[in-house]
Structure 1
Amino acid sequence: MAKSFDELKITHPCFGSHGATTGRIHLPVCPGCNIACRFCERSLNDTENRPGVTSCVLTPEQTIPLIKKAVELSPEIRVAGIAGPGDTLASDNAIKTFRLIDKEFPHLIKCMSTNGLLLSERAQEIIDAKIDSLTVTVNAVDPKIEAQLNDYIIWHGEKIEGVKGAEILIKNQLEGIKKIADAGITIKVNTVLVPRINASHIAKIAQTVSEAGAKKYNIIPLIPTAKLKDEAAPTCQEIHEAREAASKYIELFLHCNHCRADAVGVPGRTEFSKQLYAAFALSSNADEVLKENFSHG
């Protein structure tokens, strides 16, 4: 039985309204992705603090001893999350990892993030893996806007570009959110705010995902990088206006820390990832690893 939204408000650092008081470990077990977001630049390093970055990519089996060590380093850890560095549903690694966690650490909250392209068709697997909370990144519910934020999707082996790809992505996201919410799993939606492209669309996104069953909404300011490196990051006023627009439809999450895919500890207070992942530090063939594992598809 998944933890209720009220329980997660107390025990999960991404759902509490009074700041982070509990810890989490992010497990980087998902190398590949299936959509080409124009703002995404995944990387293997131990210096940047943003989503899509990790010092290594693990197998599901490697996560169990790491979690044991993490809890020793940070007893406040209550959440085991998987947020990349690729998409969690683009391979079977995340589901396999959560099954292992449920067996070895049944007391930990299981939390997963996804772009949602495969969410509708893999919803039952998520439910069966006893995941407690799910975050879905929804950057638009209008295909013409979404098509400005990603170049293409890889869906069932086919590369689909532009508005057609965006239509499939949005349909699968919303259908998947409804299926997961109907099963009693708490859903948070992330939206990357790109002022020129989707700032005026935030209210519609918030209303639509709320009606589909999402409980929490997080507006993430664009970090200008990759193909959107020349876009302006949102100002404080633009972020405030977006939050005001969204708050009419859904409860907001206001203390995002742009966490890495291998973050460990209490957000904003402690960080043990370098210490924990030292044994899995990058080898001399890092470029080869990036090329092979950080592909789309």
Structure 2
Amino acid sequence: MRPELRRHPCLDAGSHNKYGRIHLPVSPICNIQCKFCRRCFNKWEERPGVTRKILSPKEALTIVDRALELCPQITVVGIAGPGDSLASNHAIDTFRVVHEKYPELIKCLSTNGLMLPDRAKDLVEVGVSTLTVTVNAVDADILSNICTHIVWDGKVNYGKEAALRLLASQTRGIWEAHKRGIFVKINTVLIPGINDEHVGDVARTVAGLGASKINIIPLIPQFEMADIEAPDCAMLNKAREDAEQYLEVFRHCTHCRADACGIPGSNEDLADRLYEQRIETFSHG
């Protein structure tokens, strides 16, 4: 791992309780629909896809200023939703202004990978050095049971057609990011009865494309997968062992919100204090 990534609490276990990160909720839309994903606005749910509000790039820079005052240990500015970070230009525009003012901060982006092949070059130009791509399957038949549809070239694609398109983009995008020097981590949501025996295949495939680490996230039963039980510890441990044959496994994920702020693993999320001062809400039309 590159030395600077030792200050990234979502990549290095030794940094998890030492350094802070802030997630900027600037991405309003998503271009795929996963059966476990429910995006919403509130203050209380501790999971991805949830935020208090959507920020414009200008507002996001103000939030970073405040966050560094509250938590000088912040070393990472991340964008992870609540929609997909590459389904609009908002994340790229945000990183551009943040990187101009704070070039020393690590810039980290999470994406489903559908638009990654076309945006990998842009990510480098705005200072992004670490990337998380959610890859829940590398077999189209399995993926079609996880992803309901994608929006591609202005059209909605369903089923296996959607899965094949998404996989093609993820495959090319991970390689494009890796060859440009971006550190790539993979997130895989572990879904009992669907991909629990498939995680080793995911890890082997993405390792061959240049990914360096994988984070296996237990399913949060909700939306179309509300009736599927979350994986137990035995299933999670087996999936991690399967993946560890090919990639280093990150084991300290805390299901962070899209507007999380502070040091992961600590008892205090600073987002309430961060957003208590009124800021102008971003309108999407």
Say yes or no: TM over 0.5.
yes
Q: How far does residue 279 in structure 1 lie from its aligned partner after superposition?
A: 3.3
The root-mean-square deviation of aligned C-alpha atoms, in Å, is: 1.5
- Structure 1: state its 5+ residue gaps: 284-288
Amino acid at match of 1:141: V
Gaps of 5+ in 2: none
Match for residue 92 of structure 2 among 92, 95, 103: 95
Partner secondary structure for residue 106 of structure 1:
coil
Question: 1:13 — aligned with what?
Answer: 9
Superposition deviation, residue 281 in structure 1: 8.2
Q: Deviations over 1:34-93 (max 9, x none)?
A: 001000000100000000000000000101111111011111001000000000000000
Hey, what does 1:184 align to over in structure 2?
Answer: 181
Query: How far off its partner does 1:97 sit?
Result: 0.3
Q: Describe the SS at the equivalent of 1:275.
A: helix
What corresponds to 2:107 in structure 1? 110
1:185 and 1:13 map into 2 onto residues whose CA distance is 17
**Equivalent position of 1:53 in the other structure:** 50
Instruction: Give 2:103's aligned amino acid.
Output: P
User: How much does 1:124 deviate?
Assistant: 1.3
| SS of alignment partner, residue 262 of structure 1 | coil
Deviation at 1:282, TM superposition (A): 11
Q: How far did residue 24 of structure 1 move?
A: 0.5
SS at match of 2:217: strand
Report what 1:84 is aligned to: 81
- Alpha-carbon deviation of 1:128? 1.5
1:22 aligns with 2:22: no
State whether residues 55 and 280 of structure 1, in contact with CA within 8 Å, keep that contact through their aligned partners in structure 2.
no
Identify the residue that residue 274 of structure 1 maps to in structure 2: 272
- Give the distance between the partners of 1:75 and 1:21, measured in 2 at CA: 11
State the partner residue of 1:68: 65
SS of 1:110's partner is strand
CA distance in 1, matches of 2:162, 2:131: 23
Please report how far the alpha carbon of residue 8 of structure 1 lies from its aligned counterpart in structure 2 after TM superposition: 4.3
Aligned-residue identity in percent? 45
**Residue 240 to residue 122, structure 1, CA distance change in 2 (3 Å):** same
How far is 1:256 from its partner?
0.1
Moved over 3 A (4+): 279-283
